Amino acid sequence: MKKTITAVIFTLILTMFGGNVFADSHDKAKVRIVHASPDAPAVDITVNGDTVVENAGFKAATDYLMVPAGEHEVAIYAAGTIADGNPVLTATLAVEAGKAYTVVANNTLANLELAVLNDDMMTTAGKTKVRVGHFSPDAPAVDVAVTGGDVLFPNAPFQAVTDYAEVDPGTLDLEVRVAGTEDVVLSLPDTELKADMIYSVLAVGLAGGEPALDVIVLADPSTSTMPSELPKTGTGGLTGLFMNTLPILFIGVGIAFFFYKRKNLFQS
């Protein structure tokens, strides 16, 4: 009897908790690609020879693609020219399982290159995260500030990506300034930052030409949220988990015991 009930309990535990325990045990990474080269034409992109993006114009961003962990050959072609076998750029992309990346094709066409950003997918509950990337090849280093107010991200040069800042959700009027000055090169009014969201704001285009300086805003829901404060000792973590599921466990044990007794009754 003990062995039977133990086996049933073990099965129930795996059923209830197995999905949570093993949910992150996968072998793929999330990768998205952004076209941020201001003078490059629309492009097709292949990964390991397979076409994953077709006819993506300037400022286009893909959804996340699931990519096996490891190294991959990325090739960028002018749209419609894959068959010619002459990519404008090839690069090796190394990704780790369970992580997320944004790959930015940037700089001018003559100097096209890839920047690989490590994406954070977690926020504190009720908060929002935001970072800024500078991908305007002819713009000087910049500050990103509240309009007429404090600088949030100082002195970001070309191809720099700031750390994430975790802030309260809200709507802000932001501006991009020449670093260390009050000279505004781009206004970003009514910038909405929602709770439990993660934002990457990428400055693209040209400060002194066409296409003009602009931003790409990538907004992603958090895949998991950290608690705003740690649980009190003895009341959170696994204790809380088992307290929430203990009634189900007892029901399962009761069912197992019922069938055991029923089996013995019919065998008598």
The answer to whether residues 203 and 135 belong to one domain is yes
Mean pLDDT of 172-200: 95
Mean pLDDT of 58-86: 96
Asked, as a colleague might, if the bond just before 41 is cis with ω within 30 of 0, I would say: no
- Whether 15 maps to a domain, the answer reads no
pLDDT band of residue 224 (cuts 50, 70, 90) is confident
| Number of folded domains that form the chain | 2
Give one DSSP letter per residue of 136-190, joined into a string.
-TT---EEEEETTS-EEEEEE-TT-BPPPEEE--EEEEEEEEETTS--EEEEEEE
- Whether 33 maps to a domain, the answer reads yes
Q: Tell me, what's the pLDDT at 8? A: 42
Cα separations in angstroms, 78 against 53, 74, 89, 149, 229: 11, 14, 10, 42, 50
- Whether 182 maps to a domain, the answer reads yes
- Whether 165 maps to a domain, the answer reads yes
The answer to whether residues 171 and 103 belong to one domain is no
Can you give the CATH number for the domain in which 36 is found? 2.60.40
pLDDT band of residue 226 (cuts 50, 70, 90) is low
pLDDT band of residue 238 (cuts 50, 70, 90) is very low
Residue type, 53: V
- Whether 176 maps to a domain, the answer reads yes
- Whether 19 maps to a domain, the answer reads no
Report the C-alpha gap between 27 and 40 in whole angstroms.
34
Query: What percent of the chain clears pLDDT 70, i.e. is strictly above it?
Result: 74
The answer to whether residues 139 and 185 belong to one domain is yes
Mean pLDDT of 20-42: 80
The answer to whether residues 129 and 220 belong to one domain is yes
- Whether 189 maps to a domain, the answer reads yes
Report the C-alpha gap between 164 and 120 in whole angstroms.
8
pLDDT band of residue 14 (cuts 50, 70, 90) is very low
Mind listing the pLDDT tens digit for each residue in 170-184? 999 999 999 999 999
- Whether 110 maps to a domain, the answer reads yes
Q: Tell me, what's the pLDDT at 227? A: 59
Residue type, 201: V
Q: In terms of residue numbers, what domain contains 197?
A: 121-227
> Which residue, among 81, 78, 42, 70, has the nearest Cα to 58 in the 3D structure?
42
Bridge partners, 132 (sequence order): 201
Mean pLDDT check: name the lowest of 93-102, 106-115, 155-164, 256-265: 256-265
Its pTM stands at 0.75
pLDDT band of residue 223 (cuts 50, 70, 90) is confident
Is the model's pLDDT at 251 over the cut of 80? Answer: no
The answer to whether residues 104 and 178 belong to one domain is no
The answer to whether residues 56 and 112 belong to one domain is yes
What does the radius of gyration of the chain's CA atoms come to, in whole angstroms? 26
Mean pLDDT of 152-165: 96
End position of a domain, from candidates 119, 134, 168: 119
Mean pLDDT of 230-256: 39
Q: Tell me, what's the pLDDT at 247? A: 42
pLDDT band of residue 16 (cuts 50, 70, 90) is very low
End position of a domain, from candidates 119, 151, 167: 119
- What mean pLDDT, rounded, does the chain reach? 82
The answer to whether residues 94 and 182 belong to one domain is no
The answer to whether residues 133 and 190 belong to one domain is yes
**CB-count exposure of residue 133 (10 Å: 0-12, 13-18, 19+):** buried
Asked whether 162 and 131 are in contact (CB, 8 A), the reply is yes
State the DSSP code for 84. G
